[in-house]
Amino acid sequence: MSAHDQRLTAASEAVPRIGPNAILQLIPVLEGAFGPGAADRALAAAGVPRPGPDSGMLPETQVSTLHRWLRDTHPQEAPRLLREAGLATGDYILANRIPPLAQRLIRALPAFLGARVLATAIAKHSWTFAGSGKFRVVSGRPLSFEIARNPVVAGERSDIPLCHWHAAVFERLFSRLVWPHVAVREVACCATGAPACRFELLPKGR
């Protein structure tokens, strides 16, 4: 590899990235909501290349740009559509990233222990959904997470929290493995001026 190629590779690797499902799972949601070709039109309008089905990690700016385009262009529908994409992302993780044996073990544990195990696993793999942000488990009761400097809402300004996609991913994982009726509430958001997006998990629902 030439020195030039090495520099290009290093620069590419230095770009903060997020897992491709932040876009891939939104594509069928857009098609279902707005009809055939809607996803390609949205990606083109947002200036984001369409990722292939086997895409690796994507630059976080592509994710934030598409999510922001959806919020700006379809403000009424965006919360529901991003939630649907988040739930689908959770389904993908359950089907492809958490081994069946691990899922059975988590389900077999008392809920408070299962929640702790799952939260630890999420923290270990937080680089896949937090990008350049910093994820941490804030507390155990109620179980709370936060993503400081959340790149998915970077530059956004809002009176209400915007992280429907993240909240839905967490909800799907915990509802399938720990608390069937769990609800996830975003109680602080970088878009409203908070230093971190904070999510509280309510085991018995809202």
Mean pLDDT of the chain: 94
Question: So what CATH class is 17-202?
Answer: alpha beta
What is the per-residue pLDDT for 6? Answer: 39
Q: At what angle do helices 38-46 and 26-34 cross, to 10 degrees?
A: 120
Query: Which pLDDT value is given to residue 13?
Result: 58
The 3-class secondary structure across the chain, one letter per residue, is CCHHHHHHHHHHHHCCEECCHHHHCHHHHHHHHHCCCHHHHHHHHHCCCCCCCCCCCEEHHHHHHHHHHHHHHCCCCHHHHHHHHHHHHHHHHHHHCCCHHHHHHHHHCCHHHHHHHHHHHHHHCCHHHHCCCEEEEEEECCEEEEEECCHHHCCCCCCCCCCHHHHHHHHHHHHHHCCCCCEEEEEECHHHCCCEEEEEEECCCC
pLDDT at 14: 81
Look at residue 159 and tell me whether its pLDDT is greater than 50: yes
Domain borders along the chain are: 17-202
In the structure, what pLDDT confidence band is assigned to residue 206 with cuts at 50, 70 and 90? confident
Q: What is the pLDDT of residue 71?
A: 98
Q: How confident is the model over 146-173, as a mean pLDDT?
A: 98
pLDDT, tens only, 33-84: 999 999 999 999 999 999 998 899 999 999 999 999 999 999 999 999 999 9
Q: Which of 63, 82, 85 is nearest to 16 (CA)?
A: 63
How far is the C-alpha of 184 from the C-alpha of 58, rounded, in Å? 26
Cβ(173)–Cβ(96) below 8 Å: no
- Cβ proximity of 183 and 191 under 8 Å: no
Which tokens belong to 169?
């991913």
Tokens of 120: 């630890």
205 pLDDT above the threshold of 80: yes
**Whole-number percent of the chain with pLDDT over 70:** 94
pLDDT of residue 189: 99
Q: Residue 37: how many CB atoms within 10 A of its CB?
A: 10
Is the separation of the CB atoms in 17 and 60 below 8 Å? Answer: yes
Tell me what the mean pLDDT of segment 160-175 comes to. 99
